[in-house]
Structure 1
């Protein structure tokens, strides 16, 4: 019996049962190492794959000046990856010089424990496959465009890079306290779908919206969602959906604010959260610092 493949098969089954996605995992998990990494296989990308990358890159980069945080734009420029799917080794050289991070290739979603361990060691897991042309506007799982274009540019920013490592270090404590869901919400709202207040107004820095043409515009322009000032416990209490645009976005004043909030011991926070009600994402609390009170009008399929 191939124990490694049995482990990955069990992981795939757990993902299917989790409610996070109702589809089978797409990546090839047959050759994963014990830490769920694989070789990127850059030489196996086709001309069609690289053309898809350029199309997605050009479409998203045309929105950045209006919608993206300046630190994200600067990080993307430093990486210089417009022309083809990035070679993770070359990108790792750029990141290592900037903040000590490297990239590792994975086949897609990986278990929480291994994900946390990679982040704690300043290794960011990036999916190695790219979507097909018919999936241009909607993809169930994160592909290389989401993972690289969305996440990697901010790893060149020293404070955000330190935050991502601190998040990974905190994973073991979340597992010990059966609080993975609360920690996942922090990642969802502040890494995937975070906004930051800049001198030019609210800007997006989260990977989930900046890799999605529709949500890049929605998160800033739409009157529908609430935009609420960041509060650690409020974020960790708030439920979320993966199959629609967000009904609430949380707004940072600075990346230092996020880093400082993460520096505390989460053990008493987890204990406190267990006694508190979860918050529906459509809800506004009396204690919220409101940037925008949304109309909550309509449903929008996420891209």
Structure 2
């Protein structure tokens, strides 16, 4: 991938191919002057309010992440700054699959949606956008305890088993968020997508590991509070980037509950304000809760229950034998004895064998294209695990003649053939290859015949771990390098382009400190041609209010905005909040932070 830009950031450079495929170029020039004004408005609001309720010094955090209140961040600046604290950032297109999102976190890379919300969704958008990701997640990244939690969460989440339903849910959420941010979309399409999402949501059945972890993520990383129940502070990015909910969540009608392992019993609804929030005393407590949940997960528990989860997920998973051999594929069957121990496992379709996350030579999914099945367990009447047998002991097992070997398992499965290879890793036998081999079950059922070719038998007493995805993802996954041409460039009409120009001129006047006399003409244009716009007028008021010499214009704009706020319920809060920040300016606060 020659065009891959790692921004000279060590964490981004380390990303494996299967994660790089989601990265898109930021295309900074596509942000319009209105987009920049939306960023500035939200950030000024955030700061004005959050300085009292955010857990960490918001502005210092922003600066450490390479963000400013004035401009949408560019990825190079963010990476230069995040690199100093061992993190990186990349831009992607909207929602990416949950397992990939988790894995990015494990690699200490922030995933940022490249788009920015439209002005009519300025308070809250269900689609991930650059405000949420960078203004919400990035400022707290400099806190070591917190960023350790985030990357640890990623490494656990990347192993979580999900259900086939989880994937349907992800697809439905992605579809709806794209429709909601699209321009001029038919309302009935949105209603239909919302209905589909509701249906899937209401019929999820028993929550998977990924769904339960999703809850822990939601109630901490997105909506978490820290401190005491009486006086908590916000650290969750969903709250920090929603100017609406960061204020309402502190009211008494939103219940505050201590964060512990029971929090996994609380489902969440992404479309509504939260009825309750969870408070942790320390970030260390987040790691402790995660640790106790991880102890229940298939990747630590192994055994029959974990293989069942793999069969239910209908997606690629990996089972690990006690010898360390890793089998990746679509699990479709398992054998059990009376004590519910696994006696064999079976995958269907392309499968691969690996050790320590590295695919074994000549055991990729082209070689095992029709699946893989193998016994699990000890040999009959043997105290020693087969993985600890020497090559001689293996070859001599149960054989009457010199060249044939007969392995009889406690489960009654018998493997009989000529050993042609014994593969060892870390001094354990992990894979025995036979020719002229027959495999039978205790009831005489034949599992493998000599004419099918060579037989690769996995070695191990137990399945010690089962996790989501392939062991060696880069070797296993089809890397579909997504083209860089995906971001749609909106074609703006002349009227809109002229509005962009007005915003741009206001910014230039603000930053240059001169030509303030042009503001009257700009305001007249807004009044006659752009009655729906409120933000540009607010920026004009901000300038004249602080200059204290354009009394007539100041009064006119103030009245115009107050009437607008009274007449347009959608804009009432936005305009009032904007007026509040003008009267209680952010700039002096920043200087004193």
TM exceeding 0.5:
yes
Distance 1:72 1:260 in 2: 26
Aligned residue in 2 for 1:96: 83
State whether residues 219 and 278 of structure 2, in contact with CA within 8 Å, keep that contact through their aligned partners in structure 1. yes
Aligned residue in 2 for 1:52: 38
Aligned residue in 2 for 1:81: 68
User: In structure 2, which of residues 242, 245, 254 is the aligned counterpart of residue 225 of structure 1?
Assistant: 254
1:248–1:141 distance in 2 versus 1, CA, 3 Å: same
Secondary structure of the structure 2 residue equivalent to 1:239: coil
Deviations 1:234-254 (A, max 9, x none): 111211111111111000101
State whether residues 53 and 234 of structure 2, in contact with CA within 8 Å, keep that contact through their aligned partners in structure 1. yes
Residue 71 of structure 1: how far off its partner (Å)? 4.9
Residue 160 of structure 1: how far off its partner (Å)? 0.7
Alignment of 1:197-216 (within 5 A): 197=227, 201-216=231-246
Q: Which runs of 5+ in 1 are unaligned?
A: 1-31, 275-302
Deviations 1:180-230 (A, max 9, x none): 10000011000100001169921111111111112111121x121110111
Secondary structure of the structure 1 residue equivalent to 2:268: coil
Distance 1:259 1:152 in 2: 19
Paired residues in the alignment total 239
Distance 1:34 1:76 in 2: 26
| 1:261 to 2:289 alignment | yes
Residue 70 of structure 1: how far off its partner (Å)? 2.2
Secondary structure of the structure 1 residue equivalent to 2:256: strand
Distance 1:230 1:269 in 2: 20
Alignment of 1:95-244 (within 5 A): 95-98=82-85, 100-175=86-161, 178-197=208-227, 201-220=231-250, 222-231=251-260, 233-244=261-272
Structure showing greater radius of gyration is: 2
1:145–1:169 distance in 2 versus 1, CA, 3 Å: same
1:185–1:94 distance in 2 versus 1, CA, 3 Å: same
Residue 267 of structure 1: how far off its partner (Å)? 3.9
1:228–1:104 distance in 2 versus 1, CA, 3 Å: same
TM-score where L is the length of structure 2: 0.38
State whether residues 108 and 143 of structure 1, in contact with CA within 8 Å, keep that contact through their aligned partners in structure 2. yes
Residue 131 of structure 1: how far off its partner (Å)? 1.1
Aligned residue in 2 for 1:282: none
Residue 92 of structure 1: how far off its partner (Å)? 1.7
Secondary structure of the structure 1 residue equivalent to 2:141: helix
1:215–1:229 distance in 2 versus 1, CA, 3 Å: same
Distance 1:36 1:237 in 2: 32
State whether residues 166 and 263 of structure 1, in contact with CA within 8 Å, keep that contact through their aligned partners in structure 2. no
Distance 1:235 1:96 in 2: 33
State whether residues 160 and 297 of structure 2, in contact with CA within 8 Å, keep that contact through their aligned partners in structure 1. no
Distance 1:200 1:50 in 2: 37
Alpha-carbon RMSD: 2.6
Residue 265 of structure 1: how far off its partner (Å)? 6.5
